[in-house]
Amino acid sequence: MKPKAILFDMINCGGCSRCVKACMELHGFKGDPEQVKDLSATAYTCLVPEKEDYTVRNLCRHCVSPACASVCPVGALVKTEEGPVVWDGDRCLGCRYCMVACPFSIPRYEWDSTVPCVRKCDMCIDRIREGKKPACAEACPHDATVFGDRDEILAEARRRIRKSPKEYYDHIYGETEIGGTSVMFLAPFPVESLGFKKILGTDPLPALTANVLKKIPTVLVCGGAALLAIWWITKRRDEVALAESNPRWKGMNR
């Protein structure tokens, strides 16, 4: 199966909140979708007003190589072959390592629960496996949120940029950032203007973490050797100082 992806097009978005409403209804969450301004354990997506009357969606990016899954000690977060990064509340320990690891600050903790776990968008994985679109993409009336195979979504994004080069900033945010994501964005201006992180590089974060971990044994050995040398020098200095303070030593050196 080809991995799936979502494209969010800021220019087409009218800020109707139907995507938020569809997501909340599917997951049984209560509340006014127009009042949802941030992610939470009961709001997996939200609309954030941006400059010049544009609106941008915030939701899990479903990274191609997710940092959240790489740090989870119990495998509660998993990258599926369909594309979404899903979570298992029965496995989650509530350690919140994923919250620290996520470069987009997406996972949310169930602070009000007696047995809390971390929650986030799963791109409606059950619907995808049934051959359906995610609820948000199905509910969007303006093609602002579109769903399909990742390569087809990239082709569609490039087509829109070519068709209206004066409207779009020539960059597909999420195509290559940190190894690529399965939720990508088109905007009329640079991503810095959106409050998105730009300096992420193109290397997957788990690969960067692995490179650091590989160096830890060497660092420990070298650091340990350096500390041992400092300890020996300090110990030897104290011994010499003690010997020099001994009256017998002073008498021998007159």
* Polymer length in residues for the chain: 254
Q: What is the pLDDT of residue 222?
A: 52
Same domain, 141 and 230: no
Same domain, 211 and 177: no
Same domain, 60 and 79: yes
Same domain, 28 and 126: yes
What are the backbone dihedrals phi and psi of residue 112, each rounded to the nearest 5 degrees, phi first?
A: -90, 0
Q: What is the pLDDT of residue 201?
A: 73
Task: Report how far residue 104's alpha carbon sits from residue 98's, in angstroms, rounded to the nearest whole number.
Answer: 11
What beta strand segments (E) does 1-52 contain? 4-9, 46-49
Q: Using alpha carbons only, how large is the chain's radius of gyration in Å? A: 27
Q: Is 83 left (phi over 0), alpha (psi -120 to 50) or beta?
A: left
What tens digit of pLDDT does each residue of 140-167 get?
999 999 999 999 999 999 999 999 999 9
Contacts of 162 (CB under 8 A, 6+ apart): none
Greatest mean pLDDT among 51-65, 129-143, 216-230 lies in: 129-143
More confident residue, 254 or 99: 99
Segment 113-129 mean pLDDT: 95
Contacts of 223 (CB under 8 A, 6+ apart): none
Q: Is pLDDT above 60 for 171?
A: yes
Q: How many helices (H) and strands (E) does the chain have?
A: 8, 9
CB 136 within 8 A of CB 22: yes
Q: What is the pLDDT of residue 112?
A: 87
Residue that is last in its domain, among 203, 219, 240: 203
- Among 8-12, 150-154, 196-200, which is the least confidently predicted range? 196-200
Domain that holds residue 216: 207-252
Q: What is the pLDDT of residue 50?
A: 72
Same domain, 199 and 237: no
CA 2 vs CA 156, 159, 174, 182: distances in Å = 16, 20, 17, 12
CB 209 within 8 A of CB 70: yes
Helix (H) or strand (E) holding 11: none
Residue that is last in its domain, among 203, 227, 244: 203
Same domain, 40 and 119: yes
Look up the pTM and report it: 0.79
Output the domain CATH number for residue 86: 3.30.70.20
Locate 136 and state its tokens. Answer: 């948000």
Question: Across the chain, what does the average pLDDT equal?
Answer: 85
Same domain, 62 and 177: yes
Same domain, 102 and 219: no
Residue that is last in its domain, among 165, 188, 203: 203
Same domain, 189 and 211: no
Same domain, 135 and 217: no
CB 204 within 8 A of CB 172: no
The count of structural domains within the chain is 2
Same domain, 13 and 39: yes
Q: What is the pLDDT of residue 42?
A: 93
Same domain, 16 and 49: yes
